[in-house]
Amino acid sequence: MKIEILFEDNYCVIVNKPNNVLIHNSYYARNIKDATLLNLLKEQLNLELFPVHRLDRKTSGVLVLTKQKEYVAVFQELFNSNAIKKSYLGIVRGFVEEELNITSPVKNPDTKVYKDASTICIPLQKIELNIAVHPYEFSRYSLVKLLPETGRMHQLRIHMNKISRPIIGDYKYGDRFHNRMFENEFNCNNLFLHADSIQFSHPILNNKINVKATLPTDWSTIFKDFNWKF
C-alpha cells in the first residue's frame, strides 16, 4: 500500500491516511495485526516518523508527522493553542438543515472522566432516496463539514450520534441498517469520515501551510450515484 504524501519539508511530512490503517500499535487495537501507517511510511520513505495528532483507524485523511521526535512538541503546541484549523467531511443519516454547534461532553476512555467538547457541523448537500431502510420506506442523507474545536477521542463520531445524525459506516456509534444499505446498494464498507484539510503557520519556518487530502474511492462512488458536486 502506497501512502499519498501531501507535503514534506525538513521538519515534517503530511500524508493522506487511508481508511482502516492504524497510525501505530496500541492497547486499544492490540488484536489488529496489519501493518501500521508508521510501518508503511518507514518502508516507503526510509524514515522513522512521529505523529503529531491522532486519526481513528477507520478515518481517512490529513495527518501530520515530524521527522525528529523533538519536533513533535513544537507542532503539538499549535493544536494546544488552537492555531491549527482542521476540517472534516462526513456523510450522515438524515437531513442536517442548519449549522449546529454540538457541545456534549465526551468521555475519556482511560480516565472515564467526561471532558468538554465542541464541534461545528455545517450542512453542504442532502438527498432523499427511494430505498427502504428500516423502519422507513425511504432514506435520507447529508454531506456535512465538521470543524472540531476540541480534540477528544471519537469526538466527531460521538457528536453526530448525539444529534441522531450518525456517520455512515460507523459500526460503533452508527446505524447498522443504513451501514448495511450502503454495503448492499453501493458496495461501500468504509467509514464516511475524512480529514479533508489542515491549515497552520509552520512553527519553525513561519510559512503558511494549507493542505487538502483527496477523497477515498468510496466517496467518488457515492458522489456519482447521489449526483453531488464538491
Domain boundaries, the chain: 4-226
Q: Which of 23-32, 96-105, 167-176 has the lowest mean pLDDT?
A: 23-32
Q: Which CATH superfamily hosts domain 4-226?
A: Pseudouridine synthase (3.30.2350.10)
Q: Residues 211-219: what's their mean pLDDT?
A: 96
Distances (CA, A) of 167 to 33, 50, 116, 164, 203: 26, 29, 21, 9, 33
**In the predicted structure, residue 224 carries a pLDDT above the cut 70:** yes
Give the Cα separation of 174 and 167 in Å (integer). Answer: 6
Distances (CA, A) of 214 to 5, 39, 95, 195, 218: 11, 22, 25, 10, 12
**pTM summary value:** 0.94
Q: Which residue has the higher pLDDT, 229 or 130?
A: 130
Q: Which helix (H) or strand (E) holds 177?
A: helix 176-186
The pLDDT, as a whole number, for residue 30 is 60
The pLDDT, as a whole number, for residue 94 is 98
State the pairing for strand pair 114-115/106-107.
antiparallel
CA-angle at 194, arms to 66 and 13, nearest 5°: 15
Q: Residues 73-81: what's their mean pLDDT?
A: 92
Report percent pLDDT > 90 for the chain: 87
Q: Residues 180-193: what's their mean pLDDT?
A: 97
Q: Which of 49-63, 89-103, 108-122, 214-228 has the lowest mean pLDDT?
A: 108-122
Catalytic, out of 9, 34, 56, 170: 56
**Which of 127, 105, 104 lies closest to 178, judged by CA?**
127
Q: Which residue has the higher pLDDT, 153 or 7?
A: 7
**In the predicted structure, residue 29 carries a pLDDT above the cut 60:** no
The pLDDT, as a whole number, for residue 110 is 77
| Phi, psi (deg, nearest 5) at residue 16 | -105, 100
Give residue 32's pLDDT band: very low, low, confident or very high (50, 70, 90): low
CB-based contact 86:148 (threshold 8 Å): yes
Give residue 14's pLDDT band: very low, low, confident or very high (50, 70, 90): very high
Give the Cα separation of 105 and 27 in Å (integer). Answer: 24
Residue 56 is a catalytic residue: yes
